Homo-oligomer: A and B are copies of this chain.
Amino acid sequence: MLYAVFMSAVLPPIPQSQEPVERPGLLQVGTAEEEPCLRADAARNRARLLEAAARLVAEHGAAGVTMEAVATAANVGKGTVFRRFGDRTGLLTALLDHSEKKFQAAFLSGPPPLGPGAHPAERLRAFGCALLRRSADELELQLAAEPSPERRFSVPARRVLFSHVALLLRQAAPHADAELLAHTLMGYLSPVLVHHLTRQCGMPLERLESGWCDLVDRMTATETGPPSAPH
């Protein structure tokens, strides 16, 4: 008993794991229908909520998307929003899900140079430029949908992008630490950086794109000499 009290003070409260919340972001090959088999009322409310959220974004910007406001606008209880989307980040992510899947389809199975067929380095360049442009639109939502630091790298959508970059990088620079380089490249494409450079520093998107291509060239250049030891 004492042990239980002690543990409960140290460990996270309870796994709980009833987990009815959806995990968007993965491109599913099969049915193009609605994600899971929701109960009729649940599906209806989900649609209402997404519509209401989109309207709020259009009217008051991402900052105006309060969980309570969305619930009210959708004529639904607050608890329902959280049950469906887990948290605010989940809701915002769901709003981005459509464009996300379109993008995944483009580089997974679309035409070259983004899709399969072109040389890896070429695909990398195209990938970055496309992602930069996508981030430039939707910037506000992308920023607002940024998850908390702990989860940032676990988000399915992000893992897909990362894996793709790592894969291309392994082909284009076989002797490098592709995983670390991929993280570096992904950092360059992150919405926060894009926001800072374009909105706060006023850089034109073209400069970011040139920078990306230069970056890819450096990453995939013929191998450097023997690696120098760390300090």
CB contacts (< 8 Å) of A125 on chain B: these are 228, 230-231
CB contacts (< 8 Å) of A200 on chain B: these are 153-154
CB distance from A224 to the nearest CB of B (A): 5
Given the known inter-chain contacts A183-B188, A211-B180, A227-B214, please indicate yes or no for A196 contacting B129, CB distance below 8 A. Answer: no
Given the known inter-chain contacts A218-B224, A224-B217, please indicate yes or no for A212 contacting B230, CB distance below 8 A. Answer: yes
Are B149 and A210 neighbours in the complex by a CB distance under 8 Å? no
CA distance A214 to B169 in the complex (A): 15
CA distance A181 to B184 in the complex (A): 11
CA distance A193 to B217 in the complex (A): 23
Q: Binary interface profile of A, 183-221, with partner B (CB < 8 Å = 1, else 0)?
A: 110011011110111001000001111111111011101
CB contacts (< 8 Å) of A197 on chain B: these are 180, 183
Let me know if A146 is at the binding interface, CB within 8 A.
yes
Are B183 and A193 neighbours in the complex by a CB distance under 8 Å? yes
Let me know if A87 is at the binding interface, CB within 8 A.
no
Are B230 and A210 neighbours in the complex by a CB distance under 8 Å? yes
Report copies per complex.
Answer: 2
CA distance A153 to B201 in the complex (A): 10
CB contacts (< 8 Å) of A207 on chain B: these are 177, 180
Let me know if A38 is at the binding interface, CB within 8 A.
no
Q: Binary interface profile of A, 153-171, with partner B (CB < 8 Å = 1, else 0)?
A: 1100000000000000000
CA distance A176 to B212 in the complex (A): 12
Are B213 and A230 neighbours in the complex by a CB distance under 8 Å? yes
CB contacts (< 8 Å) of A74 on chain B: these are none
Let me know if A143 is at the binding interface, CB within 8 A.
yes
Can you list 11 A-B contacts with CB-CB less than 8 angstroms, sorted by A residue number?
A: A125-B228, A129-B231, A149-B195, A180-B208, A183-B193, A184-B187, A184-B188, A187-B190, A213-B231, A214-B227, A218-B219
Supply 11 further A-B pairs (C-beta < 8 A) apart from A150-B195, A183-B188, A187-B187.
A129-B230, A153-B196, A180-B207, A183-B193, A187-B190, A206-B230, A214-B224, A217-B224, A217-B227, A217-B228, A221-B221
Give residues in A with beta carbon < 8 Å to B.
Answer: 113, 125-126, 129-130, 143, 146, 149-150, 152-154, 176-177, 180-181, 183-184, 187-188, 190-193, 195-197, 200, 206-215, 217-219, 221, 224-225, 227-231
